[in-house]
Structure 1
């Protein structure tokens, strides 16, 4: 069966001619009758949270410690977790320079048996 172009226009079977118009007209807000949510940027919440944060100051920098000695076992114990894992600098608040020195001192103290490798 072949249809002429006039018959297609009259019957409304032409899907290609009105395709762009149909997509623009059928929005979710019109079909449901609800008002759209206010547009928010995805970075808006991130920027707001970032303003409220405070910068942690390194306790070792404030004390003026230039070097961390492996013999100071009591100081090193403060930077170990419950299972004797070394705290990361984000949790402990150390600067990267002191965190590296701290990790090296803890490893040396473990090797000399001033600190245990595993919890007691």
Structure 2
């Protein structure tokens, strides 16, 4: 993994990729957009293949960038919830033009039988 940057950037795409770059961040955003507030375990189950360490790291970076809000409830056992901030919601809206890429990927899964996880219809 590369070091996290904070500029200077040569274009807007460069700055945006600094926030959402990598495999798991876009999937975390998708999970929170589609399911709303999620506890850590729910996020982990919703993202098969992500390690606990990687998920923690990616969530921390998204929190530092103001994309995800982390709320800790002082309970026994402790409860932590994650949700998109207003900035995170705006980022997801900006990613909507990538929906055709997702459709192409779903078509590829159907053609090749390459699904890693089977989701209910």
Same fold (TM over 0.5): no
The structure whose residues are more often strand, as a share, is 2
TM-score scaled by length of structure 1: 0.29
TM-score scaled by length of structure 2: 0.28
Higher radius of gyration, 1 or 2: 1
The structure whose residues are more often helix, as a share, is 2
